[in-house]
Amino acid sequence: MPDPAPPIPSHPPGQYAAIQADILAAVRRVLESGEYILGREARAFEQEWATYVGNTHAVAVASGTDALCLALLAGGVRPGDEVITVSHTAVAVAAAVEQAGARPVFVDIDPLSYTLDPARIEAAITTRTRAVVPVHLYGCPADLEHILLTASQRSLLVVEDCAQAHGAIYRGRRVGSWGALAAFSFYPTKNLGAFGDGGMVVTGSESMAVRLRQLRQYGWGESRISQVKGYNSRLDEIQAAVLRVKLEHLEEWNRCRRDLAAAYSCLLRGLPGLQLPVEPALAVHVYHQFVIRHPRRDDLQAHLARAGITTLVHYPVPVHLQPAYAGPARPPGSLPETERAAREVLSLPIDPGMTLAQVEQVCAAVRAFG
């Protein structure tokens, strides 16, 4: 019998093995420093991340959800406001909006990029609309030019959700440098992931940065007196130290993802019924996920499982149809492109630790699907 195919990596341990010595040295540095919360490592990572993104200020927080919530609050979103965003994404987006006291208003997506369709914004605006949150889903930049144009015309705040798009580029600038604020997640499976949870808000506004630093720690001013009502959302020093090490490798890992995506696209191009990811003009996709779509998605997924290939569906139930968020304002059928995507999308394995042989293995199985 032939040797079994090598396992396809789907989690970050391979990254750890490659940079283990540097990670352990960074953790040891923290343990020996006696600083464990908002110390030198977090401050250094904030500066390095702001520089990498191409923005002025970065404020480290405890999670990507907190990053989005605090960004909305720092931008002036208040209870009763409405925030326009998408339903084809992680539920964390809606949760963050509601944690800020606002109400998410879902609009449909562009069927090729899976990101917010700018043409849908105007019809969703009411007297309560305060902000727009475009999600750079799967590592693909949203159409920021047209989103920002509409938002500017209607005096709306734009907060980029960059949780899946570390390093992605739109019109020559990294995502996270376009909106008034931007939120990043460092959940372990992200393109830049910690060994726990973590998040970051970036902004070009000094006043917003000051407010973010208050909000993340009880609303404290310099004297540890609460100037505003705040939260407890702080990135710990160990995670900051780990992320500093990994940031040095992010560009290399993103290049690997793009190379793997190119191989997938070459080997799968032209298959009947199969839609491949699209990279928008003047954008650089970083392929947090490699997402195909097929009208017989469930059958294809079962076929691949029988071949020993693990795939995932991001996301099987749109947020507006989940029990916590369902309601008469958005009944089934109200967001047709979102709902069709939920029925058809399938994430194939992609990780910087994959080999071309493993991509070929996956593609051979996809091509064998009837």
Give per-residue pLDDT as tens, 87-121: 999 999 999 999 999 999 999 999 999 999 999 99
Q: Where in the chain is the domain with CATH 3.90.1150.10?
A: 250-367
Q: Between the CA of residue 297 and those of 206, 274, 345, 346, what are the distances in Å? A: 47, 10, 7, 7
Q: Within 10 A of 128 (CB to CB), how many other CB atoms are there?
A: 13
Instruction: Show Cβ contacts of residue 206 under 8 Å, excluding neighbours closer than 6 positions.
Output: 56, 57
State residue 137's pLDDT score: 98
| Phi, psi dihedrals of residue 3, rounded to the nearest 5° | -60, 145
Whether 160 contacts 136, CB under 8 Å: yes
According to DSSP, residue 9 is labeled P
Residue with structure tokens 């944690």?
99
Is 354 buried (19+), middle (13-18) or exposed (0-12) by CB count in 10 A?
A: buried
Whether 254 contacts 190, CB under 8 Å: no
Q: Helices 64-74 & 92-99, crossing angle to 10 degrees? A: 40
* pLDDT bracket for residue 27 (50, 70, 90): very high
pLDDT tens digits, 151-172: 999 999 999 999 999 999 999 9
- CATH fold for the domain made of 250-367: Aspartate Aminotransferase, domain 1 (3.90.1150)
Give the class (CATH, top level) of 13-247.
alpha beta
Q: Give Cα 16 distance to the centre of its chain.
A: 21
Distance between CA atoms of residues 226 and 50, nearest Å: 27
* pLDDT bracket for residue 1 (50, 70, 90): very low
Q: If DSSP states are collapsed to H, E and C, what string results for 127-152?
A: CCEEEECCECHHHCCCCHHHHHHHHH
| Phi, psi dihedrals of residue 312, rounded to the nearest 5° | -135, 160
Q: Give Cα 334 distance to the centre of its chain.
A: 25
Residue with structure tokens 């609309």?
129
Q: Work out the average pLDDT over 243-264.
A: 98
Q: Where in the chain is the domain with CATH 3.40.640.10?
A: 13-247
Q: pTM above 0.85? A: yes
| Phi, psi dihedrals of residue 136, rounded to the nearest 5° | -80, 80
Res. 4: pLDDT tops 70: no
pLDDT tens digits, 319-335: 999 999 998 888 999 99
Is 290 buried (19+), middle (13-18) or exposed (0-12) by CB count in 10 A?
A: buried
Average pLDDT score, the chain: 95
Res. 13: pLDDT tops 70: no
Q: Between the CA of residue 83 and those of 24, 333, 336, what are the distances in Å? A: 42, 21, 20
| Phi, psi dihedrals of residue 75, rounded to the nearest 5° | -85, 0
Distance between CA atoms of residues 14 and 23, nearest Å: 13
Distance between CA atoms of residues 110 and 61, nearest Å: 31
Res. 2: pLDDT tops 60: no
- Residue 337: half-sphere exposure toward Cβ, Cα within 13 Å: 15
Res. 272: pLDDT tops 60: yes
